[in-house]
Chains A and B, each alone.
Chain A
Amino acid sequence: DQQVKQNSPSLSVQEGRISILNCDYTNSMFDYFLWYKKYPAEGPTFLISISSIKDKNEDGRFTVFLNKSAKHLSLHIVPSQPGDSAVYFCAASVPYQAGTALIFGKGTTLSVSS
C-alpha cells in the first residue's frame, strides 16, 4: 500500500496563476517531507522541504504547507511560469532498517500555459 500518495496525476494552470499540488501520507510518524521537480531526461531536483515542527515553509515562489492532523501537505507555486512545467514528486523521510529512506509519491505532471 502506498505510504505517500499524489492523487492528481496531472494539473494544468495558466501562467501567472497559482499552482497547488497535493500530497497525502498514511503514517503520522513521518516527520520530514520534501518536494522534487523532474524535467524529462533529467534526474529529480530538490525544491523545498518541511519538518513536522513547522506548518509552512517558503522559498521564493514556492511554499509548502503541512497539515499534520490531516496528514496532508501541499506545494503552492505563485505565480506559475511556463518553466515550472515538470513532474513534481512529494517524498517523506521514513524510518528504515538503518536510519531513514525517502519514500516518493507517483508524481503530478504540472503544465503551465502562456
Chain B
Amino acid sequence: KAGVTQTPRYLIKTRGQQVTLSCSPISGHRSVSWYQQTPGQGLQFLFEYFSETQRNKGNFPGRFSGRQFSNSRSEMNVSTLELGDSALYLCASSLFPGNNEQYFGPGTRLTVT
C-alpha cells in the first residue's frame, strides 16, 4: 500500500506570494491533518479535514487555509507569505478522525525569501 505523498517536496517563494501544497493520503484513509514543523516550535497542528470538512483548526492566522476533495486528497494554502512561514509542512492521514495513529508524508520544505 502506498504511503502518504506530498507535492512538491521543496518550494521557494517570495514574501507576499501565496503557495498551495498538496497531500494524497494512504488509500482508504479519510482523515487528513496538516502540521508545521519549525526548529523553534517543533510540530504544530494546523488543521484536520474529514469528509471534505474542516473539523479542527490550530492556532494559526487566517492566511493558512485548506480543503479536502471527495477522494480525500487535501491541499493547504498560505497567502501573503511571511519569512516566518518558512518551515517543513507535514501531512498525516488516518482512517478516521480521532484515530490517533497517524501516518505522515515526507513533507514539503517551504522557504520564503
Give A residues with C-beta under 8 Å from B.
32, 34, 36, 41-46, 49, 89, 91, 93, 96-107
Contacts and interface: CB of A to CB of B under 8 A. Distances in A.
Chain A contact surface mostly: strand
B42 A98 contact: no
Interface of B: 4, 33, 35, 41-45, 48, 55-58, 90, 92, 97-98, 100-107
Contacts, number: 63
Q: Is the interface of B mostly helix, strand, loop or mixed?
A: strand
A96 B54 CA distance: 12
Nearest to B105: A43
Contacts of B103: 46
A97 B57 contact: yes
8 contacts: A44-B43, A98-B97, A99-B97, A99-B98, A101-B45, A101-B58, A104-B44, A106-B41
A43 B88 CA distance: 10
